[in-house]
Amino acid sequence: MSPDEYLQGILKNQELAEDSPERRKLRATRRDVETLLRASFEEANPTIRYGGSAAKGTMIRECYDLDVICYFAHDDSSAGDTLEEVYRNVRDALSAKYFVEEKTSALRLKGKSEEQKEVDFHVDVVPGRFTDKGRNDVFLYQSSGEKKRLKTNPEKHIELIRDSGLTDAIKLVKLWKARKVIRVKTFVLELLVIEILKQMKGVKSLSSQLTAFWEKLKDTGAKIPIQDPANPSGNDLSAIFNAGVQADLSVVGGSSLDLMQRSGWESVFGPLEEAGQAEKAAIVTQASRSGSVKTKPWGESL
């Protein structure tokens, strides 16, 4: 089996088909969330749609989430006068059915009933407010930072990733991040893949793309300039792409490259799983993050 046949097999195992149980559960939760939010904010009539990896085409079985965006009109105050009020009011509405975990800008949904106590639904609801009547850019509440808000445009993020020609490479890098337990925002990795491999899309094989990606991380110490495409001058990414994150990426990128060159691709991603075993592998990886399960060598931080 060639390196690219192996990597394509890894991607195949990481697929979440539209008719898979996971996708069906995500869609059911999304419908419930939309029904709940529309009933709670009937006057506001928010815009509710998919975001994140589902819209970008980069969802993988091992670590998947569904982003559900809930944006209100720029001149609407029925959902709250401030962004923080909007965030809190959406949280309170969701709390009628879910246990809600607050994140920086999103609201993570978990089970509330006795049968599903704190079961993770893999769904993040992201409240926000359009900046103007054009309904393009949005303001998101930020629980940290001075301004307490972030101006962005998730549609630009989606288009950049979805149309990059590098979604397979991005999925493999996301899997690499999960199995090596690298503490870096997925958005940062997506931008890094596109910046490093922008000259290689549609030309080189997946094995060549990943090799080039790790070589660049190793050689530059991951000190690669990246910008938020939705707000290049306004959103400073240095807080989430700081020296510590860059150093970790450089070390693990270099170690993965050396390991692959010495022992082959399986030493990085592990053996190809049978269809039924892929889900078990995902469960083991998730459990390893809490320290409860000893991971395989390809699932350990190097």
Each residue's pLDDT tens digit, 199-233:
887 767 999 999 999 999 999 887 888 888 888 87
Q: Provide the β-strand partners of residue 297.
A: none
Is 177 found in the same domain as 128? Answer: no
| Token pair of 202 as six digits | 């549609």
- Check residue 284 and give its pLDDT: 43
Euclidean distance between CA atoms 95 and 77, whole angstroms: 21
9 in a structural domain: no
Each residue's pLDDT tens digit, 248-282:
999 999 999 999 999 999 999 999 975 445 444 44
Q: How confident is the model at residue 298 (pLDDT cuts 50, 70, 90)?
A: very low
| Token pair of 201 as six digits | 């899309």
Q: What is the mean pLDDT of residues 16-37?
A: 94
Is 31 found in the same domain as 97? Answer: yes
Q: What is the mean pLDDT of residues 45-56?
A: 93
- Check residue 276 and give its pLDDT: 45
DSSP state of 185: -
Is 144 found in the same domain as 181? Answer: no
Q: Which residue has the tokens 């909007």?
A: 86
Q: Provide the β-strand partners of residue 139.
A: 129, 151
The secondary element (H helix, E strand) that includes residue 139 is: strand 138-141
Contact yes or no for 209/166 (Cβ under 8 A): yes
Contact yes or no for 107/89 (Cβ under 8 A): no
Mean pLDDT is lowest, of 75-84, 143-152, 157-166, 174-183, for 143-152
- Check residue 299 and give its pLDDT: 55
- Check residue 218 and give its pLDDT: 93
16 in a structural domain: no
Q: What is the mean pLDDT of residues 130-153?
A: 88
- Check residue 279 and give its pLDDT: 47
Is 190 found in the same domain as 271? Answer: yes
189 in a structural domain: yes
Is 140 found in the same domain as 219? Answer: no
Euclidean distance between CA atoms 164 and 38, whole angstroms: 34
Is 224 found in the same domain as 204? Answer: yes
| Token pair of 74 as six digits | 């720029």
Of the candidates 152, 181, 212, which is a domain's last residue?
Answer: 152
Is 140 found in the same domain as 258? Answer: no
Is 171 found in the same domain as 112? Answer: no
Domain count along the chain: 2
Q: What is the mean pLDDT of residues 148-176?
A: 93
249 in a structural domain: yes
pLDDT at 294 over 70: no
Kindly give the residue spans of alpha helices, DSSP state H, lying in the chain. 3-13, 21-40, 52-56, 83-94, 154-162, 167-180, 186-197, 206-220, 243-263, 266-269, 275-288
Is 189 found in the same domain as 122? Answer: no
Which range of residues forms the domain containing residue 115? 21-152
Residue 34 region by backbone torsions, left for phi larger than 0, else alpha for psi between -120 and 50, else beta: alpha
pLDDT at 160 over 70: yes
Query: What CATH number corresponds to the domain at position 67?
Result: 3.30.460.90
Each residue's pLDDT tens digit, 57-90:
999 999 999 999 999 999 999 999 999 999 999 9
Query: What CATH number corresponds to the domain at position 265?
Result: 1.10.1410
Is 295 found in the same domain as 170? Answer: yes
pLDDT at 132 over 90: yes
280 in a structural domain: yes
pTM of the model: 0.85
- Check residue 126 and give its pLDDT: 96
Mean pLDDT of the chain: 88
Return the percentage of the chain with pLDDT > 70, whole number.
90
